[in-house]
Amino acid sequence: MTMPARSTPTPAPPTSRIPAPTDVPAAMPPPPAEAPGAADLHGAAGAPSAPADLAAPAGLAAPAGLAAPAGPAAPGTPAGAGLLALVALLLVAVNLRAAITGLGALLDDVRLGLHLSGATAGLVTTLPTLAFAGVGALTPWLVRRYAPARVLVVAMAALAGGQLLRVLTGSPLVFVVTSALALAGIAVANVLLPMLVKQHFAHRAGLVTGAYSMSLTLGGTVAAAAAVPVARASGSWRVGLGVWALLALAAVAVLVPLARRRRPAPEAAARAGSAGAAAPPARVRPARTRLGWALAVYFGTQSLGAYAVMGWLAQLFRDAGYRAEAAGLLLAAVSAIGMPVALFMPAIATRLRTLRPLVVGLAAATALAYLGLALAPRPGALLWVPILAVGQSAFPLALAAIGLRSRTPQGTVALSAFAQSTGYLIAALGPLLVGLLYTATGGWGVPIGFLLGALAVQMVAGLAIARPRYVEDE
């Protein structure tokens, strides 16, 4: 094919025709395997990316009329779209723990107000991990059929609706069902966020992952601290529990304009893929890969330790002689100190060739904190708490690893769903087994020994995901 000479005055870029594959010189390098991140949230993850398929081949300057509209530097992209998408992701992240920790703080009031039995109250506290495991596994199926942004809007609407409905009922059964609805929305968002970061902020994936991880922790901490004061000020636990639905409604309000952006329907995108240069991407099945299982075990064991700490650390400090208020403050300090670490941990991970130093370092910090809590919980509390907070940053590292160990948005959502759904099943055992061991032995030596064993498994799994490779290649 002959290119227009540069001396031709003001050549018009061809916009009416896409160059056929035969027009491309044979020596030209193939197009990249993955489209760059988009500045908005309108692409469907399950269909071939039409803009990427229609972009000019690599190595050839693309005419303005053929530039991929979804790319971060694409011409015509609204300057504020990326900022709006970032605000939406952070608002979603703030919601992902508030509905859970707010209920935990008010559980006694809810139990008395609704006359919940012990079994029902236990079911309510177990619902998060069950929802994260069950509903999270269905998310790849949803995003193969609908645009991720639209799925996220529905998830946040379910979260808002579930939180509002559960504080309006006097029925224990309806309270459990509506709580499950809210948690289903959280489960879908849990899986979608790593994919959306990979797809839309690939050039800043580490920083954005850290920001939403910190937002997630911040939302849970604020809800746990403020739910009881809000309930006391209003005179009703229903207000203290239902007020967090406003956060979910705010997320919906920001997501809706992004979800309504023009995009091809999944069927049209599939037709474009079959008629164009690219075939539909093969479905990624992390359950059939060693990398998928290693990441699921790493995610699950670090979550097991985190949930055990959240559920039992305050009791450990009370048994050591601290007053209830001081024990609660020490527990809150773990989250507060961990937030800045969570912000920068994914960014550090993206700059390292291997994750081995982070995996080993975080495991060592956690082990030191566990040993200190077992041997000297009262005199060393102010030392063990910050060390434990650093060790708990294995959570943002696990989130970052989901994006680092997948090439494509399709691979990211599949790996995220598998790692989180399987991981949360493992995590559900943490508080339960620690409680059983504590009750059976009357002390903390055996429960902490169990946590150290889980930590050893976590480090082995972490070393397995440390080496750079991708789930699509296995």
pLDDT greater than 80 at residue 63: no
- What residues contact residue 461 under an 8 Å CB cut-off, 6+ apart? 294, 295, 297, 298, 301
- Please check whether residues 135 and 256 belong to one and the same domain: yes
CA R_g for the chain: 24
pLDDT of residue 102: 86
Which residue range(s) make up the domain with 93? Answer: 80-260
2 found inside a domain: no
474 found inside a domain: yes
The percentage of residues in the chain with a pLDDT greater than 70, rounded to a whole number, is: 78
Domain-ending residue, one of 260, 294, 329: 260
pLDDT per position as a tens digit, 305-327: 988 888 788 889 989 999 877 88
277 found inside a domain: no
pLDDT greater than 90 at residue 390: yes
pLDDT greater than 60 at residue 13: no
- Please check whether residues 331 and 432 belong to one and the same domain: yes
pLDDT per position as a tens digit, 426-464: 988 888 889 889 989 999 999 999 999 999 999 999 999
- Please check whether residues 139 and 180 belong to one and the same domain: yes
- Please check whether residues 236 and 321 belong to one and the same domain: no
Give how far Cα 405 sits from Cα of 43, 181, 300, 388, 470, Å.
21, 31, 17, 26, 5
Q: How confident is the model at residue 164 (pLDDT cuts 50, 70, 90)?
A: very high
Work out the end-to-end distance of the chain between its first and last CA atoms, rounded to an integer number of angstroms: 38
pLDDT of residue 419: 93
273 found inside a domain: no
Least confident of 126-135, 213-222, 269-278, 450-459: 269-278
Domain-ending residue, one of 225, 244, 260: 260
- Please check whether residues 334 and 434 belong to one and the same domain: yes
Mean pLDDT, rounded, for 154-177: 95
Residue with tokens 């079994």: 119
How many structural domains does the chain have?
2
pLDDT of residue 149: 86
pLDDT of residue 34: 40
344 found inside a domain: yes
271 found inside a domain: no
Least confident of 64-68, 195-199, 317-321: 64-68
- Please check whether residues 226 and 155 belong to one and the same domain: yes
pLDDT of residue 446: 95
Q: How confident is the model at residue 17 (pLDDT cuts 50, 70, 90)?
A: very low
- Please check whether residues 379 and 252 belong to one and the same domain: no
pLDDT of residue 196: 85
pLDDT greater than 70 at residue 295: yes
290 found inside a domain: yes
pLDDT greater than 50 at residue 152: yes
Instruction: Please state whether 50 falls in left (phi above 0), alpha (psi between -120 and 50) or beta.
Output: alpha
- Please check whether residues 106 and 239 belong to one and the same domain: yes
- Please check whether residues 205 and 346 belong to one and the same domain: no
- Please check whether residues 92 and 222 belong to one and the same domain: yes
Q: How far apart, in whole angstroms, are the C-alpha atoms of residue 320 and residue 58?
A: 64
Range with the largest mean pLDDT of 26-35, 60-69, 398-407:
398-407
- Give Cα 87 distance to the centre of its chain: 15
More confident position, 363 or 52:
363
**C-alpha closest to that of 77 among 40, 52, 41, 43:** 40
pLDDT of residue 80: 63
pLDDT of residue 21: 40
Global pTM reads 0.71
- Please check whether residues 332 and 438 belong to one and the same domain: yes
- Please check whether residues 127 and 190 belong to one and the same domain: yes
pLDDT of residue 157: 96
Tokens matching residue 361: 């370092």
pLDDT of residue 122: 75
pLDDT per position as a tens digit, 258-284: 888 645 444 444 444 444 444 556 678
Q: How confident is the model at residue 379 (pLDDT cuts 50, 70, 90)?
A: very high
pLDDT of residue 186: 95
pLDDT of residue 70: 39
Q: How confident is the model at residue 184 (pLDDT cuts 50, 70, 90)?
A: very high
pLDDT of residue 394: 94
The CATH number of whichever domain residue 140 belongs to comes to 1.20.1250.20
pLDDT of residue 187: 93
pLDDT per position as a tens digit, 19-29: 444 343 344 44
pLDDT greater than 60 at residue 241: yes
355 found inside a domain: yes
Q: How far apart, in whole angstroms, are the C-alpha atoms of residue 327 and residue 333?
A: 10
In whole numbers, what is the pLDDT of the chain averaged over residues?
80
pLDDT of residue 173: 94
Q: How far apart, in whole angstroms, are the C-alpha atoms of residue 263 and residue 261?
A: 6
